Amino acid sequence: MQKLEKQAGKLILEDNSVFCGYFFGAKKPAAGEVVFNTGMVGYPESLTDPSYKGQILVLTYPLIGNYGIPGYDREDGLLKYFQSESVQVEGLIIADCSFEYSHWNAKKSLPAWLAEYNIPGIYGIDTRKLTKKLRKKGTMLGKIVYDGKDIEFADQNKTNLVKEVSIKTPIEYKKGRKRIVLIDCGTKNNIIGAFIKRNITVIRCPWDHDFSKDKTDGIVISSGPGDPKMCQATVENIRKSLKKNIPILGICLGSQILGLAAGANTYKLKYGHRSQNQPCIEKGTKKCYITAQNHGYAVDSKTLSGDWKEWFYNNNDGTNEGIFHKSKPFFGTQFHPEASPGPDDTEFLFDKLLKVIR
């Protein structure tokens, strides 16, 4: 497999700084919020995570694409090696791209896969310098410029990204007798798979679906992209559910939505948490879990009412990583217990929900 002729491309940030490199994947302009992920592996899972919708992703690991892209095998109706049905990022920025790959399960190269989904990438970028800028100044808007074709900066956090990535009509994954409603705010396939393998039937619903009349033993609010305050229909539906005793688990964006429904506030982090190596402390204990994360917003734990408590916090910056109700079966985590990619150290949280399902 030969590397194609180099074609120059640029990443331009809203502060007018320019990073030059070469195109791979689709050759087209793109715009979005520029964010970075410090994980060493897991690019097929990360690139198909709907939480990256509206974002240009910078991968800090210096070599990307060396193990290629797996095939489209399915299990229980879900793509086995990806977290959604398509590549979700607006664009990809890396230091070095492997046009040749080697892995027993690989079917194609990363450049070929991105081209298939019409997603542009740029390699040859000094991602260390770029990441240091984003850490210092905070997440910025950016645009990928190709062949002199410019494009406007786009702050997609001002739109309802969840509406774009959520399903339109309910889907049932029939398994066991117990049933949960999964509110799809941009769910990852592995969240669904975590319940299927526990013999739980999953009713996957659109983000604004009124599930108050649905027969369910529990509610899960999925992860997803953007500002949780854009999901007012979901917040209101959860607020109504809090008046009942149906167990609720919120994951990432879902935890933020749960916090808003409980009366707390959320805010935008300076540059977010995106990696598979975030240390989280369970408050009141000496337990530290290494977790997978992908979010740019957080619950302000100081705004929680007296019925709620902070459950976990991030050991790097002290921000909230989980909340729970003192007496009712409602809880959420900012990190991803389903991993994919990342460690599955906190997968026990799914079992915690099942224990309180009657």
Q: How far is CA 60 from CA 108, 136, 285, in A?
A: 22, 16, 32
Give CA torsion, residues 241, 246, 251, 256, to 10 deg.
Answer: 30
Q: How far is CA 15 from CA 134, 142, 143, 180, in A?
A: 11, 9, 11, 46
The b-or-e profile of 30-64 (16+ CB within 10 A means b, else e) is bbbbbbbbebeebbbbbbbbbbbbbbbbbbbbeeb
Q: How is 282-297 classified by DSSP, letter by letter? A: ETTSS-EEEEEEEEEE
**Coil, strand or helix at 349:** helix
Element (H, E) at 106: strand 106-108
Q: Which amino acid is at 177?
A: R
Q: How is 216-275 classified by DSSP, letter by letter? A: -SEEEEPP-SS-GGG-HHHHHHHHHHTTS---EEEETHHHHHHHHHTT-EEEEEEEEEEE
Which residues make Cβ contacts (< 8 Å) with residue 10, sequence separation at least 6? 18, 19, 20, 21, 122, 144, 145
Q: Which of 273, 295, 325, 336 is catalytic?
A: 336
Identify whether 338 is a catalytic site residue. yes
How many angstroms separate the CA atoms of 84 and 186, rounded?
Answer: 9
Q: Which of 97, 231, 252, 280 is catalytic?
A: 252
How many angstroms separate the CA atoms of 272 and 293, rounded?
Answer: 9
* Tokens describing residue 185: 């705010």
Give CA torsion, residues 128, 134, 137, 143, to 10 deg.
Answer: 120
Query: CA gyration radius for the chain?
Result: 20
Identify whether 252 is a catalytic site residue. yes
Q: Which of 33, 45, 321, 338 is catalytic?
A: 338
Catalytic residues: 252, 336, 338
